[in-house]
Structure 1
């Protein structure tokens, strides 16, 4: 399907005529002018928004005639005519933002004076790659123009746009979201922009064993807990091991501010639990449980806390048994008992036979 529309001419001066028959002959500046965004394309009495590919451009006076078909490039009003100094000022962030992994953040962008919604356009882009994060155009938001990485993650405060608030809500943050973001606002022939930086995406990922742990009664067992964070392990505020027993949380071992607090352990675990101290700098907060008892069976939780960040992992100690050595000793003891009983029986029976 082809559509034809007349748009403001981006480059050629009035009164000149140029004919370009294909996209391959377009200059790089012209391609850039038409590469991003989108344009309202009229087809008789209807109009359609979407992605279109530029097939030919014929300049005539101050307008250019575009023949378009469905394709891969967004066609929009050329930005080159919007180079006047803006009479409005955009307000952004006072400094870099630090946000939690998987959380949400508001990228601030607002104007000091109200702007008419007609001819208002707001773009949010990554400053480095120019990736389009979100677009407000023609008095409506345009989620179809977003890069796929930001679908359902980036949102305007739609009701606040008329009040001059163009801030962007970004959800489900990842480490890749670190960097600078540009909010650019067009109003008529004027434009302004502000830059907001996400300096750090705080991450606190705690992992343990994906399977239940088995142990031997009287032996030792390791309950795994590893921390992945931008925070240095020795600067983590608190790591606590607890056993979940019905509705009770039994303190097993506590680490606070680079110190192990053994006295905080419940008396049932005191002198039987310890961290691998030499591994803490690697984020390893695994627990060694010594001289395992049958009552140690159950669910253990490793909780890591640093400021407003918190994460945990659960380890199940389910199968308790005897070690090979214990089984061998048990067999030997049983055998010895059998021989002892047999020997006693022989001694008891001999006097009776003599009588």
Structure 2
């Protein structure tokens, strides 16, 4: 039996052609750092990559870039640094350490790390038409040591406390905890970013009773796990009584009744009027007192029952203080008007009676 096949020289030529068409992915590979590199704001960070198997890369192009379609972060070509061809924000901020380039290892050092440096970096080695790359991730972190707890004046809703901190990256996790370490749900969380793209955060809590001895504001960096906290001790005196408005209304009613009734009784005994005459100032006095008190109670209740800014709204504190101020001012204004009307009425009545009424002799 005969077997047919390609002659040996033709077989060798075919193998050679196959090697030329499929260049070797075996020429080299590039490895970078397996884990993300943590970089603190304002410090320097080193990113390394290595050829495998180890070999000299002095004749190769070494390119560090973030996006394939933009300028490189750092470029090494023909044995030289090509700083003029890099992205403007990295000019004078990157250094390529090439002490071990003879073994295929290079290190990119980024100086004065900023928030914009957060993200992925590609390290590419190119030899002729063949190239390989590796990706390394940089995670920029910033943790603030300054946390403030602001306490607003107590109001009819309770005690508002606010936790503020500036200069975080990325956005921190925030929570309130009580003296037992249990989480208390806040009424609002807000954040903004400054010109350096750092996070400024704020969290508010409304306490409606004096059961809490103290509360603690916790902030945690989600990347590093670093946690900062600050606490505030609460006093029972900070919480206003719930029945304070009822007490105020009773006091106002008592003052008005006293102010109206005393002149009525005094006028009766001075003039020795009959029962009908005595009832006249009393009825007028009551006619002034009860409508005035009714108006006061109605206005205050309507103010407190109307739909207002919710506690989760940033304007809640302003709305609540406005409500308290307006209630007090309105009540005082109504009392003043009532007293003024009563005073004028009884003065005029006394003046008229002194001109037309003859007092009997004793």
TM bracket (short chain)? 0.3 to 0.5
Larger Rg: 2
TM-score normalised according to structure 1 size: 0.40
Q: Which of the pair is proportionally richer in helix?
A: 2
Bigger relative CO (Cα 8 Å, ≥ 6 apart): 1
